[in-house]
Amino acid sequence: MKSILLINGNDPKALLNATLYGADALAYDLHESVDEANKDAARLLLQEALPFFDYGGAGVFVRINPMAEGGADDIAVAGKGKPQAFILPRADVQSLAQADAAIAALEAENGFAAGSIKLLPVIESVASVENAAAVIAASSRITAVIFSAATFLQELGAPVSADTAQLLYARSKVALSARAAGLPVFDRPWADAKDKAGFEADARLARSLGFTGKLAANGGQVPLINEIFA
Amino acid sequence: MKLTKTGEAGAADSGDILVSVAPAEEPGIQIELSGKSVILKQFGRQIRELLQKTAAECGVENARITAKDNGALDFTIKARVRAAIQRAV
């Protein structure tokens, strides 16, 4: 698995077109793509949509909200559609334990095999980067790890810039911790769809640091991710 | 399930359906469906049936459902009706 494509979880047309780009996994997003007033509708949309489509072998994930911001509701409602995994933003040891328990309840209530639904933590806080190994070990459901930069830079008090050097330590730490645990590790999405050169350079740098794949912010980024991380 | 107010969900975007569910005095579920005439001519009956069936499955007995379809598939129609009902309780 090299590419994980983020898709607005409340956009039926985007759900319909999600498999067209050749991504190895699809991440239906309930977090940043969906405004607060429509989280409830988006959860129900994913619950109905996930069993509806033939994904042709692609992984099917749901990026939930942080556990303190509705993540448990995301798991309980959208989870009835039986995704293969949940992506947990702002993951730390405590929130991963909460997510693990919520998924266990979902599995028990819906007749899903215990332990069948996996977890992908997004390591993006300063504390979680520094304690990456402990975060990765927090749940036996964790099958891959994701690094994201925005919260990290914000907590660090560092200006957001195009200078990738400011992320070198954090990326290396997360990649190293994941690989030491024998897990694949995915780099942050590149949000600026027009900056193709920046995206390619960022992906190649991530590859050189040991990342095994990258999140795609749009379908057009998928082919290059698949090529760079092949 | 008793509805207490009007609930709305969905959007007028392509591939979606905008559903409004309101309490009704008269018994039963009344449906007002609009959209592209070519779609309604071909699929109008099925969409009405799905709206009706989904509301009934949610336990709604008396309601007025207004739906503006823009090419939504079944999973979207069901999800939007369920969300509108949740918001109308």
Q: Averaged over A14-21, what is the pLDDT?
A: 94
| Mean of the per-residue pLDDT values of chain A | 96
Q: Distance between CA atoms of A64 and A185, rounded to whole angstroms?
A: 19
B1, part of any domain: no
B2, part of any domain: no
B32, part of any domain: yes
Q: Is A35 on the interface with B (CB under 8 A)?
A: no
- Kindly indicate whether the ipTM for this predicted assembly is greater than 0.90, answering yes or no: yes
Domain with residue B22: its CATH number is: 3.30.230.10
A62 CB-near residues (< 8 Å, 6+ apart): A9, A27, A28, A29, A30, A46, A50, A74, A78, A79, A81, A83, A85, A86, A87
Residue contact A12–B78, C-beta within 8 A: no
How many domains are contained in chain B? 1
Considering only CB atoms, B79 lies closest to which of A13, A16, A44, namely A44
Considering only CB atoms, B15 lies closest to which of A16, A40, A47, namely A16
B interface test, pick of A8, A13, A15, A50 with most B CB neighbours within 10 Å: A13
Residue contact B72–A48, C-beta within 8 A: no
Closest among A153, A165, A145 to A212, alpha carbons compared: A145
Q: Distance between CA atoms of A89 and A128, rounded to whole angstroms?
A: 11
For residue B88, the distance in angstroms to the closest alpha carbon of chain A comes to: 13
Q: What is the pLDDT of residue B71?
A: 94
Q: What is the pLDDT of residue A163?
A: 79
B63, part of any domain: yes
Is the model's pLDDT at A164 over the cut of 90? no
Decide the pairing of beta strands A213-216 and B7-9: unpaired
Q: What is the pLDDT of residue A74?
A: 98
Is the model's pLDDT at A191 over the cut of 90? no
Residue contact B15–A41, C-beta within 8 A: no
Considering only CB atoms, A13 lies closest to which of B10, B14, B83, namely B14
Q: What is the pLDDT of residue A69?
A: 97
Q: Distance between CA atoms of A76 and B9, rounded to whole angstroms?
A: 20
List, for residues B40-69, the tens digit of each pLDDT value: 999 999 999 999 999 999 999 999 999 999
B70, part of any domain: yes
Contacts of B10 in chain A (CB under 8 A): 41
- A56 vs A175, residue with greater confidence: A175
Q: What is the pLDDT of residue A33?
A: 95
CA A229: distance to chain centroid? Answer: 17
Q: Distance between CA atoms of B68 and B10, rounded to whole angstroms?
A: 9
Is the model's pLDDT at A161 over the cut of 90? no
- Establish, for the pair of chains A and B, how many residue pairs have beta carbons separated by less than 8 Å: 45
Considering only CB atoms, B80 lies closest to which of A13, A16, A41, namely A41
Residue contact A44–B74, C-beta within 8 A: no
Q: Where are the beta strands (DSSP E) in chain A?
A: 3-8, 25-29, 59-63, 85-88, 118-123, 145-147, 185-187, 213-216
Q: Which pLDDT band, with edges at 50, 70 and 90, does A183 fall under? A: very high
Q: Is A17 on the interface with B (CB under 8 A)?
A: no
Is the model's pLDDT at B75 over the cut of 80? yes
Structural domain boundaries, residue B18: 7-88
Give backbone dihedrals phi and psi of B69, rounded to 5 degrees, phi first: -90, 140
Is the model's pLDDT at A6 over the cut of 80? yes
Q: What is the pLDDT of residue A162?
A: 77
User: In this structure, are residues A211 and A229 in contact, taking their beta carbons and an 8 Å threshold?
Assistant: yes
Contacts of A16 in chain B (CB under 8 A): 15, 73
List, for residues B25-34, the tens digit of each pLDDT value: 889 999 999 9
Half-sphere exposure in the Cβ direction for A188 (13 Å, CA):
24
